[in-house]
Structure formats: C-alpha cells, structure tokens
Structure 1
Amino acid sequence: MSDTIKDRVIAIIAEQAVLEPGDVTPDQTLEDLGIDSLGLVESIFAIEEAFDISVPFNANDPSDSEFDISSVAAIIKAVEGLIATQAA
C-alpha cells in the first residue's frame, strides 16, 4: 500500500467524521471535526487494526492516556511513534 501513515490516519479520522479526507487538516481537533467519545474509540480501534499496533489509550479517561489526541497532527505523530517502537 502506497499510502503514507499520515494519509491513512487522516482517512480513518475522516471516515469517523463523515467527511472527505481532503476536509481534514492536521491542525484540527477531533472536536472540530464533530467526533464524539464513541467516534474517538472507534477511530482508535480502526488505527490499531490498520497499523497492527496497540494504542495505549484509556477510554474511561482519555486525558490520562499516553496517546496524544489533542489534534490530528498529534495523533499522526503518536501513531508514527508506536509504529517505530514496534519495528525496533
């Protein structure tokens, strides 16, 4: 698959937000995109499945997670980090 990690993460987030990937920018938050807590959890599951990684995310207390969900860019960076750690 020739998609970059960034493109794949944006596609997953766009699907949850019912938007086109081109409508999702790295500086947006999930809240900006209209993604609620259920959509966030579904996005995390989709990311785990797409990249075959385990995301350290606490759905009961997202602010207590080691996975930064503050923006689309932060999510992309966190996924890249998890992939790099897993590959090492």
Structure 2
Amino acid sequence: MNTPTADRLHAIIAEQAMLEPSQITNDATPEDLGIDSLGLVEAIFAIEEEFDISIPFNANEPEKSDFDMSSIGSIVAAVEKLISEKAA
C-alpha cells in the first residue's frame, strides 16, 4: 500500500515518463521508466515544488549524497525523510 506521499510522487514520475501513475512501481528505476538525466532533473524540480523541500544538488551522485535515486521506492523514502526533517 502506498502512502499519500508515494502516490503524489508516482504521479510526478509518471508525468515525466509519459505513463499512467498505476504503471509506476517502487522497485522500478528511473531508467526502467525511460527517464533520462534531463527528465530526472525536471522531476526533481517538480518534487521540490510539490512538497516544498530542497533536494540536495548532488542527489544524482549516490557516492556524494544520502538522497538515493536508484529506484522509485528509494526516492519516496528520501522525500519522506526530507519532509519529516522539515516538520521537526
């Protein structure tokens, strides 16, 4: 079962991938969904705007950031962490 945050993220990712939100799974990678680096940057901007958070500028470099973008599920977890940190 998805959280409201996951559902909103799936909608954002689906828009970038030109898919239906129901086609987005947490185990899919951005590459699996046909999202290239530019699409990923656009998705990051949309996520930041939707949730009023700031994603680290080096999020696409896993060795330099704790924001994991390797799968949709890891993006969901990282965004939920940023949201909770902002609320604290």
Give the partner amino acid of 2:13: I
The answer for the alignment partner of 2:55 in structure 1 is 55
TM-score between both structures, scaled by the size of structure 2: 0.90
Gaps of 5+ in 1: none
Unaligned runs of 5+ in 2: none
Structure 1 residue 57: Cα displacement: 3.0
* CA distance, structure 1, for counterparts of residue 61 and residue 12 of structure 2: 19
Cα RMSD of the aligned pairs, angstroms, is 1.5
Deviation of 1:66 (Å): 2.6
Answer yes or no: is 1:24 the counterpart of 2:24.
yes
Q: Counterpart of 1:41 in structure 2: which amino acid? A: V
Aligned residues: 85
**After superposition, where does 1:1-88 map in structure 2 within 5 Å?**
4-58=4-58, 62-63=61-62, 64-88=64-88
- Give the share of equivalent positions with the same residue, in percent: 64
The letter of the residue matching 2:7 is: D
